[in-house]
Structure 1
Amino acid sequence: MSSELPEWSRRAFSEPRLKPYLDACHGDRARAWRLYRWNIEISQAFYGSLHCLEVGLRNAVHDRLLERYGRADWWEAAPLKKHDAGKVAKARDDLRRKGVGHPTADDVVAELSFGFWVSLLSSSYDRHLWVPSLHRAFPHYAGRRSALRDNFQTMVLLRNRIMHHEPIHHRHLPADHAKIYRLLGYLEPEVVTWLQGFDRVPEILGRRPGGEGGGHA
């Protein structure tokens, strides 16, 4: 196998983008190219489980807060911090720019980011959201709120790296995968069973290019 990267790869992906892979492979261009392709494959495979986690968290939190405040646009009554209220306002503005003249509560819920929903599990909302309501969004969890929030936050960071096409090969990906399943189990165990029927992460982890960039996050 040639030790050089295909010429078109430099035009399509650029040397600076390929550099982290070259560094991980100690300058071996053939190994770096294999690792780059595998990073795309494993990122693609994680999409399904992260999709389930983000949508599951969003709906669980939304349902509990709708119940607490008695209105679908509960953010109008909840004591949101300025930063989080700003995210709601931005979601409405973004929807209008997309041509949604009168965004519904469901429109806003779908527009809000994974990070927004995780932020509602922070200590600043202990008194008004977690204790009276949000702990019930996780019927199969009995631990501390802070640990739950931290675990979700690591998944936000993984999700953002994947969606911004960044390297994830250096992470402890089997641990990330196990964490997603654990968090899904806190929300709804039956989703875990359903997801296992088509989740490709274990398969692709099993064919990682040998010896390439095997670090941890």
Structure 2
Amino acid sequence: MKNAFPNFTGRRGDLHERMERLRLLRNRAAHHEPVHARDLMVDHRYMCELGLYVDADLATWISSTSRLPDVVAARDDTIDGRRPTRF
């Protein structure tokens, strides 16, 4: 664990819970299952935290390239038809 996540100092169980949550999210997305009922911002935070445990530059890259916060912020406008969808 220390080699894979050199910046992690917490409990192994906490790390496992975060990784399991992201694994389940990945599987749902890969199988085109709905993810809209999840708290996606928690998933995003965990993803950034896990990146930080590996390398600070990785966490910065994840945060700077992820569109998820903007998509989640615009979700209500999209659902109500005030913002067009993009595919």
Residue among 2, 8, 12 paired with 1:145? 12
Report the equivalent of 1:169: 36
Give, in angstroms, the shift of residue 176 of structure 1: 0.9
Report the equivalent of 2:66: 199
The residue type paired with residue 163 of structure 1 is A
Question: Helix, strand or coil for the counterpart of 1:135?
Answer: coil
Which TM-score applies when normalising by structure 1? Answer: 0.34
CA-based RMSD: 1.5
Aligned residues: 78
Structure 1 spans left out of the alignment, 5+ residues: 1-133, 213-217
Identity %: 36
CA distance in 2, matches of 1:152, 1:209: 28
Structure 2 spans left out of the alignment, 5+ residues: 80-87
CA distance in 2, matches of 1:199, 1:174: 11
Describe how 1:122-161 pairs up with structure 2 within 5 A. Answer: 134-161=1-28
The structure with the greater share of residues assigned to helix is 1
Structure 1 segments of 4+ aligned residues over 3 angstroms from their partners: none
CA distance in 2, matches of 1:151, 1:197: 21
Give, in angstroms, the shift of residue 153 of structure 1: 0.7
CA deviation map 1:100-150 (0-9, x unaligned)? xxxxxxxxxxxxxxxxxxxxxxxxxxxxxxxxxx32321111111111112
Which TM-score applies when normalising by structure 2? Answer: 0.80
Residue among 35, 50, 61 paired with 1:183? 50
